[in-house]
Amino acid sequence: MKLALIASRSRRQCLAALAGTMTLPGAGWGNTRPDITLRFSHVVAEETPKGLAANRFKVLVEQRSSGRISVQVYPNAQLYGDLDEMQALQLGAVDMVAPSLSKFGRIGLPEFELFDLPFLFDNLEAVRRITHGALGQKLLAGLQRQGLVGLGFFDNGFKQMSANRPLLEPKDFIGLRMRVQASRVIAAQMRALGARPVTLAFSETRRALANGVVDGTENPVSNFWTQNMHEVQSDLSLTDHGYLGYAVVTNQRFWQSLGNPDRELINQALQEALAFANQMADTQNDRALAALRQAGTTRIHTLTDAQRSRLRQAVQPVQKALTQRIGPRWMKALEEVMVNPS
């Protein structure tokens, strides 16, 4: 498996270099050859919050190390899609990834799926109480169980629902095949609405929508727009029903192979890049929504309070039903943070 991953990496790397989408080591720093090359793979476009964070991180690290540390960013699942990026990280075929929090359950960390509970967060401040608090630190520490090191969280934003019809009431979802990430909580949310969840990799979603393999999906607008899903979905309903965020992870072996000063430099640059992405996330989603309105391909629906509250009501059983999956202790800790925000 390791050989297959590495072979596929070098083939795709060559293609990326030929296409000019890959930054070669040392580029921009004369002929300085980097001592360390950090490969950062992700699945979304460069104009999304994650794409911006990765690119900002690269600039900061290369500037501050005067090119001694090179960061190669591979966006758009160029190297690995979300089914294999975590495995590639564990095998050391890449050094950093930033999967959505919904994708950690699949590698034995179901507690991360607490972020997927529908209508849990009213705003990003509520999310930060977890990601910037003790509970967030505990979640990151748990990555050790998989040979990984968690370096931080950051936002994309709130998810919206799309299909070839408006999705305003629970009855609108009945019988629809909805593409979901590999999260049991999100699957349960779709079932509670009467839809059939279909788990697919992000990079396959647009094609599956175009071919009619699935009827609809959910994502923040920046992902919807940059994947051109508006070309194959006639309606986007602004439900804000769930949160999409990320954790940046590296491999323990890679992290321990670095000297302290380099570890600090990389970590500091990353924290700044994540703060930048958090500031930009809302703007990127607003921009994408404005672009979508302008494109005129997709009808955009704003829900009334009553419609939103009926959706909320329909998915209410998910929390109780998925407590065992997430873990009762995690659910209790979550409740404490949500009820006592101090």
Q: Of residues 55, 70, 76, 100, which one binds ligand SIN by CB under 6 A?
A: 100
* Residue 48 to residue 154: CA distance in whole angstroms: 12
Q: Taking the complex as a whole, how short is the minimal distance between the CB of residue 276 and ligand SIN, in angstroms?
A: 17
44 binds ligand SIN per the rule CB under 6 A: yes
Contact characters 55-84, ligand SIN, x per CB under 6 A: ---------------------------x--
Q: Of residues 223, 239, 250, 285, which one binds ligand SIN by CB under 6 A?
A: 223
Contact 40, 57 (CB under 8 A): yes
**Residue 236 CB contacts under 8 Å (≥ 6 apart), including other chains:** 160, 161, 162, 221, 224, 230, 292, 298, 299, 300, 301
Q: Taking the complex as a whole, how short is the minimal distance between the CB of residue 255 and ligand SIN, in angstroms?
A: 22
Residue appearing with tokens 């929090």: 101
Strands 36-41 and 69-74: parallel
Where does residue 80 fall: left (phi above 0), alpha (psi -120 to 50 degrees), or beta otherwise? beta
Q: Taking the complex as a whole, how short is the minimal distance between the CB of residue 156 and ligand SIN, in angstroms?
A: 6
43 binds ligand SIN per the rule CB under 6 A: yes
Integer Rg of the chain from CA: 20
239 binds ligand SIN per the rule CB under 6 A: no
* Residue 100 to residue 242: CA distance in whole angstroms: 13
**What single-letter DSSP state applies at residue 124?**
H
Q: Taking the complex as a whole, how short is the minimal distance between the CB of residue 196 and ligand SIN, in angstroms?
A: 17
**What single-letter DSSP state applies at residue 183?**
-
Stretch binding ligand SIN (CB under 6 A), from 43-51, 121-129, 295-303, 329-337: 43-51
Contact characters 154-193, ligand SIN, x per CB under 6 A: --x------------------------x------------
Binding site for ligand SIN (CB under 6 A): 43-44, 50, 82, 100, 156, 181, 202, 219, 223
